[in-house]
Amino acid sequence: MTKKQSSEGLISARRSENEPMRGCEIIRESLVNQGVKHIFGYPGGASMEIHHALNKTDKIQLILTRHEQGAAFAAGGYARVTGEVGVCMATSGPGATNLITGIQDAMMDSIPLVAITGQVPTSVIGMDAFQESDIVGATKQMTKHNYLIQDIDSIPEIFAEAFYLAKSGRPGAVLIDIPKDIQQSYTIPNFSRKYKRPGYQPNYEANPRQIKQAAKAIKQARKPVIYCGGGVISSNASEELVKLVEKTGIPVTTTMTGLGSYPEDRDNALHMLGMHGTEYANLAVSQADLLIALGVRFDDRVTGKVSEFAKHGKIIHVDIDPAEINKNKLADIPITSDLKEALIKLNETVEPGDYERWLEQIAEWKKNRPLRYKSSGEKIQPQAVCEKLSELAPDDAIISTGVGQHQVFTALHYTFKHPRTWVSSCGLGSMGFGLPAAIGAKLACPDREVINVDGDGSFMMNQQELAAAVQHSIGAKTIILNNHHLGMVVQWEDRFYGGDRGDTYIGEPAVDFLKISEGMGVKAARVTEKSELEAGIKQLLDHDGPFVLEVVVSYEEHVLPMIPSNGTIDDMIVPDF
């Protein structure tokens, strides 16, 4: 599907150094200079110049999503699986505001993202012009940094800095807003100009004394636990984490963002902790005498009542962001550092202590209090779908999700073995994330299986992106766990609101997901019987191209274990069998 229609042919470099370029062309060249290969976007009056300019290079492919939110989520998915900056683009006003959820999502999960927005011409900024919105003002607290370009000559340096900021230190979202007149005007660009930035210092080196203290605490501990999160993935530190565990034998629990950072099929894996963590992970953390917190932020979904969390243990906290240290929980041994660097240093000297009894205790918990659900009954349990998928999907498959019960079922019942195989809106919890994120991930990793495990509610929020997948031949697949309800809210209604229903039933009308999929050119199948499940998943995996498998599941299933909001280990709800 070629998109090149220009009679000028392909322009990827300038013909002469002194030739003036239009702002939109300078933007294109700045993106090429950053190594950008894909942009997810949706054009409009204030951004069409950039689209036209992009169509004249073969170095960057524009993926036309069907909603700007889809573009932002797709860019997030792309960034999550590659570690590279994801790029999304929209026009001014509604285009820009539609990006916001994806921008905040990237920010919450520390994902490198650059959002480009067109803005109304400089002459009418502030006049409440058609499709004007102060997107820079609106996203000030949702971005690591943002810019309104007011001078065409600053385009190269602003783009270079935006990408640097997005991926350096603690990654995050950066937005660049560019008025239409600046895209249209001409200048002789200077691509070597650098932004002057006197205060930004993203890298911290671990203090050797604190590394020594950490090693000493690990040696002295009797009941240590590693609690690791998204920071392990951002800093590509999985290998070092595995080495630390191999050297010491300390058990590992991961946050939701950290899934895949430690291979979950190993004996030391305690799987996820927190509100919906495993019993053994939460028990281990609550009784630990040393909590080794790696690239985590002591989020409320992990800690519950924060004063009671890990209260018997000393805390070693390693994070690249100094503001995370002591934010929610005081650290006894704070280490501000890139995690990979800190672990390399720690691994040089670390030695295990005497953990024999502790590891026996943990083995007993894992044996006697495993993840469990009632597999009897006629209807398909969503947990069983996740387990079956885990069994059948290739080892390096990438799994994305929407948000709700299906997300947590997947987090618990799918076995993640590699970093960057789990793609989910963990911090912001934005429904509708799964399909566009899967499209972004599949585009980045075309040779790997990418499957969006979605809920019916979440899927409906961005189902239009099936069209984008078809247009660009992106074979991202989807399993819809259809329970005709907003399952997680229903679970809360059942558990804490006496079963009172507040607009959580979405089964009327019964949406025909097969017709919706087929209507956009996507092959689809439906499974309603347990006996059909395996064949259905195999059909999905065997299909070459986008595919939707609807699995009708029971809505009465609850995600367990569960520690109610702001609760403690004593409040943990577990299956009664």
Q: Which of 9, 199, 499, 509 binds other proteins (CB under 8 A)?
A: 199
Give the separation between CA 193 and CA 401, rounded to whole angstroms. Answer: 41
Q: Determine which one of 131, 213, 361, 539 is catalytic.
A: 131
Residue 494 CB, shortest distance to other proteins, in Å, is 33
The full DSSP string for 293-345 is EES----HHHHSSTTTTTTTSEEEEEES-GGGTTTSS--SEEEES-HHHHHHH
Residue 333 CB, shortest distance to other proteins, in Å, is 17
Give the separation between CA 426 and CA 407, rounded to whole angstroms. Answer: 9
Q: Which of 3, 4, 194, 197 binds other proteins (CB under 8 A)?
A: 197
Pair of tokens at residue 226:
């590693």
Q: Determine which one of 3, 127, 130, 351 is catalytic.
A: 130
407 catalytic per annotation: no
Under DSSP, is residue 239 helix (H, G, I), strand (E, B) or coil? helix
Pattern 110-149, other proteins, x by CB under 8 A = --------------------------xx--xx--xx--x-
Burial of 265: CB neighbours in 10 Å, binned 0-12, 13-18, 19+: exposed
- Of 139 and 517, which CB lies nearer to other proteins in the complex structure? 139
159 catalytic per annotation: no
130 catalytic per annotation: yes
- Cβ 118 vs Cβ 93: under 8 Å: no
Q: Determine which one of 29, 68, 240, 449 is catalytic.
A: 68
Residue 154 CB, shortest distance to other proteins, in Å, is 11
Give the binding range for other proteins (CB under 8 A) out of 52-60, 197-205, 311-319, 453-461. Answer: 197-205
Give the separation between CA 371 and CA 474, rounded to whole angstroms. Answer: 35
Q: Is 200 in the site for other proteins (CB under 8 A)?
A: yes
| 315 to 211, 227, 304, 326: CA distances (angstroms) | 13, 10, 17, 10
465 catalytic per annotation: no
Q: Determine which one of 56, 144, 180, 329 is catalytic.
A: 180
Give residue for tokens 């001078």. 151
Give the binding range for other proteins (CB under 8 A) out of 116-124, 274-282, 322-330, 420-428. Answer: 322-330
180 catalytic per annotation: yes
- Of 276 and 297, which CB lies nearer to other proteins in the complex structure? 297
DSSP 400: E
Residue 140 CB, shortest distance to other proteins, in Å, is 5
Give the binding range for other proteins (CB under 8 A) out of 86-94, 321-329, 461-469, 499-507. Answer: 321-329
- Of 301 and 327, which CB lies nearer to other proteins in the complex structure? 327
Give the separation between CA 423 and CA 436, rounded to whole angstroms. Answer: 11
Residue 137 CB, shortest distance to other proteins, in Å, is 7
Give the binding range for other proteins (CB under 8 A) out of 54-62, 194-202, 224-232, 311-319. Answer: 194-202
Count of chain residues binding other proteins (CB under 8 A): 17
| 213 to 185, 210, 216, 315, 346: CA distances (angstroms) | 58, 5, 5, 11, 10
Pattern 147-186, other proteins, x by CB under 8 A = -x----------------x---------------------
Give the separation between CA 173 and CA 150, rounded to whole angstroms. Answer: 20
- For the chain, helix (H) and strand (E) counts, in that order, are 22, 20
Q: Determine which one of 488, 520, 562, 572 is catalytic.
A: 488
Pattern 256-295, other proteins, x by CB under 8 A = ----------------------------------------
Pair of tokens at residue 339:
């995690």
DSSP 565: T
Residue 438 backbone zone (phi > 0: left; psi -120 to 50: alpha; other: beta): alpha
In the complex, the residues that contact other proteins under the rule CB under 8 A are 136-137, 140-141, 144-145, 148, 165, 197-200, 321-323, 326-327
Q: Tell me which residues are annotated as active site.
A: 68, 130-131, 180, 488
